[in-house]
Amino acid sequence: MDIPDIKRSLLNARKAFPQPQSDPKKSKDIEIHASVSSLSSKLSKAKSSIDISKLSQQNLSLHKEILSSNAKTNSDEVATAKWEFEHLSKSKLETIALDTSNTFRSSERVAAYERWHTLDQQNLSNLKRDSLKYESNVTALASFEELLSSHTNSFSFFSKAMVSDEYSSQATSQFESILDARDLEKSKNISRSEHYYETMVMDIFGGTESEILSGTDGMSLSNLMRSSYEFLTQGDRELLADIYEYADNNNIDFKYIRQFASDLGGYRMHDDGKILNNFNNGHFNGEGYQLAVSFTDKDQATINNILDSQKKLSSSDIDVGFISFMTEPGLSALSHRGSYQYLQHMIEIKAGIEPSLSTENFKVFEGFSGVDDRYVITTSDKRLIRPEPDVICKNGTCEVTKKGLKNNVTLEENKGNPILDLKSNSISSLLELRVNNTTENNTLFQWLAD
């Protein structure tokens, strides 16, 4: 076989048995494994070079040495090393930082030292956070000192060499500064809170806060003589203090708050609205036509906006029961004094929602020009036929009707007052005769007594 034939045979053999191609992923894995193996080897070598008996001396000089090295070391090299050491444990970082064999470069030692302290500060932050859960500074400090002691007791020989002798005292001092700052912030908050509570007392109560009255007795004789403000609960008053602060910071007319407080107090005065009858459940005019009350179109549109967003109601500090009361026309349309637009604004603010109306709308109070701005009264087409009374009285003279005669109702000759059969259907007559038109005295109870 000549030379060309041999070359041709070799070429055919290569085609028949192709050489294996290298796998990029496998190559990468090999590189990583080699890198890990190399780091492991370097850590082992560095660790063996550290003399544990001299760590106490290193403790005194390490920080100056690191800082000195840091000043001379390329910051880019340190940053690169930090990135490479990002997932290393504190024990491995200690070994690199304390290396005396020059196995690791200065930039790597600086990076390991700084990375270790970053991790340790995270540990200290957790200890501080756990201790700050206590309201009392004494208890919080005692908790931190106990946790710090446990933390330092867990330090290895290498860990102790990473910190100065003032490590614990410095950490405690920093925590005490945090407690002082917390006290200062509390003082500011309390001072601010007290200021606006006093503002509320001055604006609503005239400077002397009333005691909190209960509305469970409803419109008793004593309650009738009271201001609705006096029925505001402690929670209501604190809420109003917050609202005064918000109004002051946003230049809102305080009269909006007074009207809001009046409505809220009226709600409390009637036992959270429980003892009020719904006007729309049966009110009639003198001719027997049923009346119904509703909100104005403007207010109803605002109320629809409030009720359409359940999030506003559930997350707002304003009593949901009060909101329900204020948005029911039969309960509040006739009596409300406040602005529904302002109510919506405050519901949204207290719920942490972007308000639909800006504070510019409330810088100058706009009251109602008349009843048409407050509510709408409509009359039904159907008329309630009133039954014929048993007794009719005009100008102080009473006479029994035909229906009354059938019901055996008679009049006393000397008083001109009827003797009523309480089983008869003469309630209307009884109400008409409750005042004697001649003497203007209330005679209802006299009839019952006789």
Measured CA to CA, the distance from residue 398 to residue 387 in angstroms comes to 18
pLDDT (tens digit, 9 = 90+) per residue, 198-247? 999 999 988 889 999 988 877 677 777 888 999 999 999 999 999 999 99
pLDDT (tens digit, 9 = 90+) per residue, 82-118? 888 888 888 899 888 888 888 888 888 888 888 898 8
pLDDT (tens digit, 9 = 90+) per residue, 238-295? 999 999 999 999 999 999 999 999 999 999 999 999 988 899 888 888 788 889 999 9
More confident of the two residues 407 and 300: 300
pLDDT (tens digit, 9 = 90+) per residue, 15-56? 544 554 545 544 444 444 445 568 888 888 888 877 776 665
Average pLDDT over the chain reads: 79
Q: Which distant-in-sequence residues (6+ apart) come within 8 Å of 227 by Cβ? A: 210, 265
pTM over 0.75: no
More confident of the two residues 189 and 393: 393
Q: Which distant-in-sequence residues (6+ apart) come within 8 Å of 323 by Cβ? A: 306, 313, 316, 343, 347
Nearest to 112 by CA among 95, 134, 133: 95
Contact 294, 374 (CB under 8 A): no
Quote the pLDDT of residue 140: 92
3-state secondary structure of 138: helix
Contact 103, 49 (CB under 8 A): yes
Measured CA to CA, the distance from residue 221 to residue 228 in angstroms comes to 14
3-state secondary structure of 163: coil
pLDDT (tens digit, 9 = 90+) per residue, 303-325? 999 888 766 677 788 999 999 99
Residue 222 vs residues 204, 227, 269: alpha-carbon distances, Å: 21, 11, 12
More confident of the two residues 190 and 162: 162
CA-CA-CA-CA torsion for 148, 154, 156, 159, nearest 10 degrees? -30
